[in-house]
Amino acid sequence: MRKIRELLRMKLEMGLPHRSIARACGLGAGTVSEYVRRAGEKGLSWPLPEGLDDQELEALLYPRRPAALGARALPDFAYVHEELKRSGVTLMLLWTEYRETHPGGYGYSRYCERYGRWLRKLKPSLRQQHRAGEKTFMDFSGKKPSIVNPRTGELEEVELFVAVLGASSYVYAEATADQSLGSWVSAHVRMVEYFGGSSELWVPDNLKSGVSWADRYEPEINRTYAELAQHYGAAVVPARVGKAKDKAKVEVSVLIVQRWILARLRNRTFFSLAELNAAIWGLLEEVNARVMKRLGVSRRELFARLDRPALRPLPAERYEIAEWKRCRVNIDYHVEADSNFYSVPYPLVQEDVEARLTASVVEVYFKGQRVASHERLYGRGLYATRREHMPRSHREYLEWTPSRLIGWAEKTGPATAQLVGEILARREHPEQGYRSCLGILRLGKSYEAQRLEAACARATQLGSYSYRTVKNILSSGLDRVRLEGVSREAEVTPHENIRGAGYYEGGELSC
């Protein structure tokens, strides 16, 4: 209205031609003519009447037309707004109900436009602006794809991982077996490889695979997830709990993937994740290549122009998923990780440490410093022991020695001593057999010496040199049953690492 007042002043007071007024006010000559005509019809002169404000001036020049007979009924947008909060309710459904009541009402497009204008007045909000290469948003979809189990023929639901770059809205999606840490991390690795780099910030939802403890001010990031982000030069900033606006980008992208990928695959059958992902990735290219109506360009074009040049380059090596586990060093200076045992320097006996397990390596950390590294073992009850981790004398931190264990076993009987000797002899390092031997000897507290001796003799005859075998024999009462058909002693397979039970006879072993 300030321009209208200036326009009227130039015309009514100064008498300038319309073209001069148009150039001065940045308006068209026709617009100036229309305002002058309307002012003349209302008998306005300069100066304008005192107390005439902008709203009154506008009403004077452009009076509202009286409502026409049979005017369209205005929808109750307060009711519409509340109904949309209910599950499954859409604007299309509410518009259909509105037209049933008011057949001559607004069309769907006009209905949505009027509701949008009403909504903007209801709660003005700051539109988020994302810098190129700044943020990646990621989440799992509520709607899940399915695959057919080839063994059982049953339909099994799988998860749908979706990620989107903030500036370009460039989308990535893939199916995963579940929402476990392994699936979450692997999806991120393929995500950054698809993008060809990583953004500065990762904004996930507060699922357990990414956030160990959800908190608005100090969320605790999962150790493996934080290590993954560090590997790719990113920082994890989880969305606030209950604040969907923090991850609005991915919420919209999830809907796009559901509608333009999952919906198009609804009539196809898949028998593996690999087969399903091949189909998803094919349609994903079409989604990113489709021109967006509001912007007139595709996500791929925006990605090439904005995000791609700003992404951090990928490191030379692909991230290898690592699992962290808290454990305590046992008296044999080994820690247990995934049912196998790995040595650490003996002064750490009884200390709390952290084991980091990858597919190929197990590393042990004490107070943030790596103290041991071993090739990962697969199986159960296997040992990885380094000689440099062993003490010169076990008496400072470990009272047991092979000869002492055999001597204690001899108090029960020769069969027990023989079994203990065989257990120690069959390990690359005798310390690896301490647990089994101590377990066998402690069975003497629960069973009579005669029964323990019989059980050890039976285990030796069977050639099964383990604590578990002796325990099972005693618990089932087989030590009281004569063993038929076994007349020979168990043979010891010759090997340079097998010393034989007699190796420990005749004195203490110096370690």
Sequence ranges of the domains in the chain: 2-61, 84-122, 135-310, 323-389, 402-504
Work out the pLDDT band at 69, boundaries 50, 70, 90.
very low
Q: If you average pLDDT over residues 114-129, what whole number do you get?
A: 65
Condensed to tens digits (0 to 9), the pLDDT of residues 364-380 reads 999 888 999 999 898 88
Please determine, for residue 5, whether its predicted confidence score (pLDDT) is greater than 70: yes
In sequence order, the 6+-apart residues with CB closer than 8 A to the CB of 412 are 441, 444, 449, 452, 453, 456
Q: At what angle do helices 467-476 and 449-462 cross, to 10 degrees?
A: 120
- C-alpha–C-alpha distance, residues 2 and 35, integer Å: 13
What pLDDT, on a 0 to 100 scale, did the predictor assign at position 505? 52
Please determine, for residue 472, whether its predicted confidence score (pLDDT) is greater than 60: yes
- C-alpha–C-alpha distance, residues 119 and 374, integer Å: 61
- C-alpha–C-alpha distance, residues 411 and 440, integer Å: 13
The two three-digit tokens of residue 475, written as one number = 């618990």
Q: Is the model more confident about 281 or about 242? A: 281
Q: State residue 140 phi and psi, 5-degree precision.
A: -95, 145
Name the average pLDDT for the chain. 81
Give the amino acid at 69: L
- C-alpha–C-alpha distance, residues 18 and 348, integer Å: 93
What pLDDT, on a 0 to 100 scale, did the predictor assign at position 485? 52
**Which is it for the CA torsion 66, 70, 72, 74, positive or negative?**
positive
- Please give the helix or strand (H or E) that residue 148 lies within, else none: strand 146-148
What pLDDT, on a 0 to 100 scale, did the predictor assign at position 67? 46
What pLDDT, on a 0 to 100 scale, did the predictor assign at position 54? 67
Work out the pLDDT band at 212, boundaries 50, 70, 90.
low
Q: What percent of the chain has pLDDT over 70?
A: 82
Side-chain-side CA neighbours of residue 135 (13 Å): 19
Please determine, for residue 500, whether its predicted confidence score (pLDDT) is greater than 60: no
Please determine, for residue 166, whether its predicted confidence score (pLDDT) is greater than 90: no
What pLDDT, on a 0 to 100 scale, did the predictor assign at position 43? 81
Q: If you average pLDDT over residues 71-90, what whole number do you get?
A: 73
Condensed to tens digits (0 to 9), the pLDDT of residues 417-435 reads 999 999 888 887 777 788 8
What pLDDT, on a 0 to 100 scale, did the predictor assign at position 313? 93
What pLDDT, on a 0 to 100 scale, did the predictor assign at position 187? 92
> Rounded to whole angstroms, what are the CA distances from 363 to 24, 342, 345, 353, 384?
76, 9, 13, 10, 12
Condensed to tens digits (0 to 9), the pLDDT of residues 140-160 reads 988 899 999 888 889 999 999
What pLDDT, on a 0 to 100 scale, did the predictor assign at position 494? 46
Work out the pLDDT band at 315, boundaries 50, 70, 90.
very high
Condensed to tens digits (0 to 9), the pLDDT of residues 386-396 reads 888 887 654 44
What pLDDT, on a 0 to 100 scale, did the predictor assign at position 194? 94
What pLDDT, on a 0 to 100 scale, did the predictor assign at position 158? 93
What pLDDT, on a 0 to 100 scale, did the predictor assign at position 27? 76
What pLDDT, on a 0 to 100 scale, did the predictor assign at position 2? 61
Q: If you average pLDDT over residues 284-311, what whole number do you get?
A: 87
Least confident of 50-59, 219-228, 333-342: 50-59
Q: Tell me which CATH code domain 135-310 carries.
A: 3.30.420.10
Q: How does strand 361-366 pair with strand 352-357?
A: antiparallel
Q: Is the model more confident about 280 or about 68? A: 280
- C-alpha–C-alpha distance, residues 196 and 265, integer Å: 27
